[in-house]
C-alpha cells in the first residue's frame, strides 16, 4: 500500500502539496478568526447615532443596492445590547490569547516539527468556533470573550509552525513564491469569511449562529486531510520521491539544519535586522487588523451598506491583495534569481509599497466621505498594494535564519499581534458615534504608523542570513562561555591557596 502511494504521489512535488495545505491552514484560521467581524453587526441591536448632521453621516439609500436589510430572512437568533466599547473588547479578545502562544509554538515547532502544533491548533479553533453560538447564549459578552481568547491561544502556533515547516520544505530560489502562496491563505480566508458570512446572514433561517457552524466544520475537515498528507520535513515524508528529497537536501544544506543548537538568544535579540522586521510587522498589522476587524463596521454603520453587499465589498480588497501578492512574489523570485536586485532591496521595495500605498489610499477613502464608489475603489487599491508585503517582509524571517525561523516568526508575529488587541479598542474609543470625522482620525493614525515603521525597515533591514544561524558558531560560542565559567571558578579556588 505504501509503495503504491509512493509511486502515485511521488510524481507530485510534495513541497507544493505542503504549500497548498499550508495555504488552506491559514485560509481556515483567518476565516474562523475574521467571520466575527461582519457577524457582530448582526449580533448586536443597531445603535442610533448620536450625531444626525448630514455633514457627519451618510444617508441610507435602500434602492441603490437593490434591496435593504429588511429583506433579511427572519430568524430566532438573539441580538445583544453591546455598545461600541464592548464590541471593541470582543473583537480584540482573540489577540489576547493569540500573542501568548506564539513563542512556545515557535520553539516547539523547531524542536518537534510543526505538523501537530499547527494541526491541533486549527482543530481546537474549529471546535471553539462550533460552540460559539451556545457559549454566547449562556454567557453573552463574557462567554464570547472567553471563547475568543481560547481561539487565540490555539491559533497562536499557526505562523511559527508554518515558518518552521517552510524552512524545511522551501529552497531559497522558491522562497518568495511558496512563502507568499502559503501566507496568501490569510487574504483569501478573509475574502471567503466576509463574502460567505454576508450571504449566510441574509439567507440563513437560523441567523448568525450558522456562520460559526459552517466555518468551524470546514476547519475540522481540513485537519483530517492535513493529518494524512503533510509531514514535518522531506526525510519523514513516506510518499516523497527520492529525486525531490535529494533536491531539497542539496538546496538547503548550507543554511537549514535538522537539529540546530538551542536558540542563541543573546545574539538574536541584538540583531538590528530582526528589530527592523518587527517594526515593519507592527506597521503592517496595525493597518491590516484595523481593516479586517473594523472595515465591515465602517461599511455597515457609516456607508450604510446592506449586509450581503457589506460582506462582498469587505471581501473585495483581500481578493485583489491576493492577486497582487501572487504576481509580485513571482516577480521577486525572478529579480533575485537573475541578479536584477539584491534580496535585501527586494524585501525593502516590497515592504515600502505595502506601507505607503495602503496608507495613502486608506486615508484618501476617508476624504471621499459618502461617495461610496470612490471609497470602495480607494480601499480596494490600498489593500491591493498591501499584497507586496508578502514577498517583502513576510518571508524575511526565513532569510535571516532558516534554522530558527519558527522562533523568529513567533517573535515578529507575536509582537505585531499586540496591535490586534489595541486597534479594535482604539477604534471603539475614537468612533463612539460612527461618524465620518471620527473614522478619519483612525485612518490618519494608520497612515502615520505605516510611514514610521517603514522608515525603520528601509534603514536597517537585511535579506541575508545572520551569522548566528550557523550551528558551528553557536556551538563554539557556547563552548567559549562554558570555558570562561570554568576558568573563573578555577581562579576563585586558586586564590585562597596562593
Residue 389, class by beta-carbon neighbours within 10 Å (0-12 exposed, 13-18 middle, 19+ buried)? buried
Mean pLDDT of 424-431: 87
C-alpha cell at 225: 486531510
pLDDT at 61 over 70: no
- Report the CATH architecture of 263-490: Up-down Bundle (1.20)
Distance separating alpha carbons of residues 169 and 115, to the nearest angstrom:
12
Cβ atoms of 474 and 468 closer than 8 Å: yes
Which DSSP symbol is given to 23?
Answer: H
Domains 13-46+82-235 and 263-490 share a fold: yes
Q: List the CATH code of the domain at 13-46+82-235.
A: 1.20.1250.20
Q: Taking the domains of the chain in order of start, what are their residue ranges?
A: 13-46+82-235, 263-490
Closest CA to 167 of 465, 479, 478: 465
**CA geometry: angle at 189 spanning 185 and 190, to 5°?**
120
Q: Which residue has the higher pLDDT, 245 or 459?
A: 459
Res 72: pLDDT: 53
pLDDT at 328 over 60: yes
Closest CA to 400 of 163, 232, 185: 163
Q: How confident is the model at residue 361 (pLDDT cuts 50, 70, 90)?
A: very high
Share of the chain above pLDDT 90, in %: 37
Cβ atoms of 291 and 179 closer than 8 Å: no
In sequence order, the 6+-apart residues with CB closer than 8 A to the CB of 250 are none
Pick from 9-18, 145-154, 195-204, 241-250: least confident: 9-18
pLDDT digits (tens, 9 = 90+) for 67-96: 444 455 556 788 999 988 898 899 899 999
pLDDT at 62 over 60: no
pLDDT digits (tens, 9 = 90+) for 451-496: 999 999 999 999 998 888 888 887 887 778 777 777 677 777 766 6
Closest CA to 38 of 366, 309, 433, 384: 309
Residue 47, class by beta-carbon neighbours within 10 Å (0-12 exposed, 13-18 middle, 19+ buried)? middle
Mean pLDDT of 174-197: 85
Coil, strand or helix at 80:
strand
Cβ atoms of 412 and 277 closer than 8 Å: yes
Distance separating alpha carbons of residues 108 and 236, to the nearest angstrom:
17
pLDDT at 1 over 50: no
Coil, strand or helix at 44:
strand
Pick from 131-145, 162-176, 223-237: least confident: 162-176
Share of the chain above pLDDT 70, in %: 89
Res 288: pLDDT: 86
Go through 409-420 and write b for each residue having 16 or more CB atoms within 10 A of its CB, e for each that does not. Answer: bbbbbbbbbbbb
List C-alpha distances in Å: 8 to 226, 241, 298, 378: 18, 10, 50, 48
Q: Which residue has the higher pLDDT, 245 or 302?
A: 245
Distance separating alpha carbons of residues 230 and 116, to the nearest angstrom:
10
Distance separating alpha carbons of residues 50 and 83, to the nearest angstrom:
13
Per residue, what are the HEC states of 265-325?
Answer: HHHHHCCHHHHHHHHHHHHHHHHHHHHHHHHHHHHHHHCCCCHHHHHHHHHHHHHHHHHHH
Phi-psi region of 259 (alpha: psi -120 to 50; beta: other; left: phi over 0): beta
Coil, strand or helix at 407:
helix
Amino acid at each position: 500500500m505504501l509503495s503504491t502511494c509512493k509511486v502515485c504521489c511521488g510524481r507530485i512535488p510534495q513541497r507544493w502539496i505542503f504549500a497548498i495545505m499550508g495555504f488552506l491552514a491559514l485560509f481556515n484560521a483567518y476565516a474562523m478568526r475574521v467571520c466575527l467581524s461582519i457577524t457582530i453587526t448582526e449580533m448586536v441591536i443597531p445603535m442610533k447615532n448620536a450625531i444626525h448632521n448630514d455633514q457627519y453621516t451618510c444617508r441610507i439609500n435602500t434602492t441603490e443596492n437593490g434591496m435593504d436589510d429588511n429583506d433579511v430572512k427572519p430568524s430566532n437568533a438573539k441580538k445583544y445590547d453591546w455598545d461600541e466599547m464592548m464590541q471593541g473588547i470582543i473583537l480584540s479578545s482573540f489577540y489576547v490569547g493569540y500573542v501568548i502562544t506564539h513563542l512556545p509554538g515557535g520553539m516547539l515547532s523547531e524542536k518537534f516539527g510543526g505538523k501537530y502544533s499547527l494541526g491541533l491548533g486549527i482543530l481546537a479553533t474549529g471546535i471553539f468556533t462550533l460552540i460559539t453560538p451556545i457559549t454566547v447564549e449562556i454567557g453573552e459578552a463574557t462567554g464570547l470573550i472567553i471563547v475568543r481568547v481560547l481561539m487565540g491561544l490555539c491559533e497562536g502556533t499557526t505562523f511559527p509552525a508554518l515558518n518552521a515547516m517552510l524552512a524545511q520544505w522551501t529552497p531559497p530560489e522558491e522562497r518568495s513564491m511558496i512563502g507568499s502562496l502559503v501566507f496568501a491563505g490569510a487574504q483569501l480566508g478573509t475574502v471567503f469569511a466576509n463574502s460567505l458570512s454576508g450571504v449566510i446572514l441574509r439567507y440563513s433561517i437560523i441567523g448568525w449562529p450558522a456562520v460559526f457552524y459552517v466555518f468551524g466544520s470546514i476547519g475540522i475537515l481540513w485537519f483530517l486531510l492535513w493529518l494524512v498528507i503533510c509531514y514535518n520535513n522531506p526525510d519523514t515524508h513516506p510518499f516523497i520521491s527520492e529525486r525531490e528529497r535529494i533536491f531539497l537536501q542539496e538546496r538547503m544544506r548550507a543554511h537549514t539544519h535538522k537539529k540546530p543548537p538551542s536558540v542563541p538568544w543573546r545574539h538574536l535579540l541584538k540583531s538590528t535586522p530582526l528589530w527592523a522586521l518587527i517594526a515593519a510587522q507592527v506597521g503592517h498589522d496595525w493597518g491590516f487588523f484595523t481593516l479586517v476587524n473594523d472595515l465591515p463596521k465602517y461599511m455597515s454603520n457609516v456607508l450604510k451598506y446592506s449586509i450581503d453587499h457589506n460582506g462582498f465589498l469587505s471581501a473585495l480588497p483581500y481578493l485583489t491583495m491576493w492577486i497582487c501578492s501572487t504576481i509580485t512574489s513571482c516577480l521577486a523570485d525572478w529579480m533575485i534569481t537573475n541578479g536584477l536586485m539584491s534580496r535585501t532591496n527586494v524585501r525593502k521595495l516590497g515592504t515600502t509599497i505595502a506601507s505607503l500605498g495602503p496608507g495613502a489610499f486608506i486615508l484618501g477613502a476617508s476624504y471621499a466621505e459618502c461617495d461610496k464608489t470612490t471609497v470602495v475603489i480607494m480601499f480596494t487599491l490600498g489593500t491591493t498594494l498591501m499584497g507586496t508585503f508578502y514577498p517583502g517582509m513576510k518571508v524575511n524571517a526565513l532569510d535571516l535564519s532558516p534554522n530558527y525561523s519558527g522562533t523568529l516568526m513567533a517573535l515578529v508575529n507575536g509582537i505585531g499581534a499586540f496591535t490586534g488587541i489595541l486597534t479594535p479598542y482604539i477604534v471603539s474609543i475614537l468612533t463612539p458615534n460612527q461618524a465620518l470625522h471620527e473614522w478619519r482620525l483612525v485612518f490618519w493614525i494608520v497612515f502615520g504608523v505605516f510611514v514610521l515603521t517603514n522608515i525603520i525597515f528601509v534603514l536597517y533591514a537585511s535579506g541575508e542570513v545572520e551569522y548566528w544561524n550557523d550551528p558551528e558558531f553557536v556551538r563554539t560560542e557556547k563552548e567559549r562561555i562554558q570555558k570562561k565559567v570554568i576558568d573563573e571558578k578555577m581562579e576563585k579556588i586558586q586564590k585562597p591557596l596562593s
